[in-house]
A = this chain, B = another copy of it.
């Protein structure tokens, strides 16, 4: 089957709707309509309607950020960051669509005003245009699937998929068959995720059974307190979060007698395995299209 880039992007944006529909009571045929975007509470279901088909090419943070939706798709490369490195490697494997979890211009907002004034951002824009490779962000979609594909990828990479006891929208609760100290979990995370170091707080020696796993920037204080206090987490493993929130919470909680710990494994390290899982999903969504996962080195190293 031959796809255009625009059709492939719409297929990704549609996945979430399809899954939501599977979980709903049948409501009279329910052919896919663009109005279902609104029903699912997308923050902004706008976007260009260029190319064939009437469905929009963006929904929330997701969708086509660069490139011509009418071109024939030659292959898809999937990465965590929409970096120039990933773009070049996409070209090397013959893909003309890069699907990345993060945006192009160093900001969650695709249209942050400062990036329009940045020389480096504008030079990157010119490189992308010259490459002829289209870029699609796929961030909200995989996070909204149940279970969250990004978190599921991290849990799988850590080897804990058989120990899941609860799947929340923002975190997965693990009950380990054998207790593990936070220090040992940090070594496991470094080994499995290829992280050069981990930021750690709290009681690193206590043998933990209940672990909360979350990804990206979900390591803030409010969620952390809920995972420790309501879900009994002894260890929270997250991507990153503001250092004055959860780490300070953990330090004081330990002083108050709680035996808890926190590991920040890094944003990219926490979400890249999920994009590998997302790539498998994309392969099933786009039959006949070569899909390549790009295992990137983290842009950050700990020294």
Q: Is A255 an interface residue (CB 8 A)?
A: yes
B222 near A114 with CB under 8 A, answer yes
Chain A window 237-274, contacts with chain B (Cβ cutoff 8 Å), 1 for yes, 0 for no: 00110111111111111011010000010111000000
A242 near B256 with CB under 8 A, answer no
User: For residues 94 through 118 of chain A, which have their beta carbon under 8 Å from a beta carbon of chain B?
Assistant: 102-103, 106-108, 112, 114-115, 118
Of A52-60, A69-77, A169-177, A294-302, the stretch lying at the interface with chain B is A294-302
B256 near A84 with CB under 8 A, answer yes
Q: Which of B199, B248, B264, B299 contacts A106 (CB under 8 A)?
A: B248
Query: CA A302 – CA B197 in complex, angstroms?
Result: 6
Q: Which residues of B contact A119 (CB under 8 A)?
A: 229
> A120's closest neighbor in chain B, by CB?
B253
Q: Is A213 an interface residue (CB 8 A)?
A: no
The number of residues on chain A lying at the interface, defined by a beta carbon within 8 Å of a beta carbon of chain B, is 60
> A266's closest neighbor in chain B, by CB?
B243
Q: Which residues of B contact A120 (CB under 8 A)?
A: 225, 228-229, 249, 252-253, 256, 258
Counting chain B CB atoms within 10 Å of each CB, the highest count among A226, A244, A256 belongs to A244
Q: Is A83 an interface residue (CB 8 A)?
A: yes
> A256's closest neighbor in chain B, by CB?
B123
Nearest Cβ on chain B to A70's Cβ, whole angstroms: 27
Q: Is A201 an interface residue (CB 8 A)?
A: yes
A300 near B197 with CB under 8 A, answer no
Q: Which of B114, B198, B246, B249 contacts A303 (CB under 8 A)?
A: B198
Q: Which residues of B contact A180 (CB under 8 A)?
A: none
B255 near A199 with CB under 8 A, answer no
Q: Which residues of B contact A201 (CB under 8 A)?
A: 299-301
Counting chain B CB atoms within 10 Å of each CB, the highest count among A121, A225, A245 belongs to A225
Counting chain B CB atoms within 10 Å of each CB, the highest count among A199, A226, A229 belongs to A199
Query: CA A246 – CA B199 in complex, angstroms?
Result: 19
Query: Given A119-B229, A243-B266, are A83 and B252 also a contact pair (CB < 8 Å)?
Result: yes
Query: CA A127 – CA B255 in complex, angstroms?
Result: 11
> A199's closest neighbor in chain B, by CB?
B300
Q: Is A5 an interface residue (CB 8 A)?
A: no
Query: CA A240 – CA B247 in complex, angstroms?
Result: 13
A204 near B303 with CB under 8 A, answer yes
Shortest 10 CB-CB distances between A and B: which pairs? Answer: A243-B267, A251-B299, A106-B249, A114-B222, A106-B221, A84-B255, A120-B253, A118-B225, A247-B299, A102-B244
Return 29 A-B CB contacts under 8 Å, by A number.
A81-B244, A81-B248, A83-B252, A84-B255, A85-B251, A107-B221, A107-B244, A107-B245, A115-B225, A120-B253, A124-B256, A127-B256, A186-B303, A197-B197, A197-B303, A198-B303, A200-B300, A200-B303, A217-B242, A239-B243, A240-B242, A242-B267, A243-B266, A243-B267, A243-B299, A243-B300, A244-B267, A250-B299, A264-B300
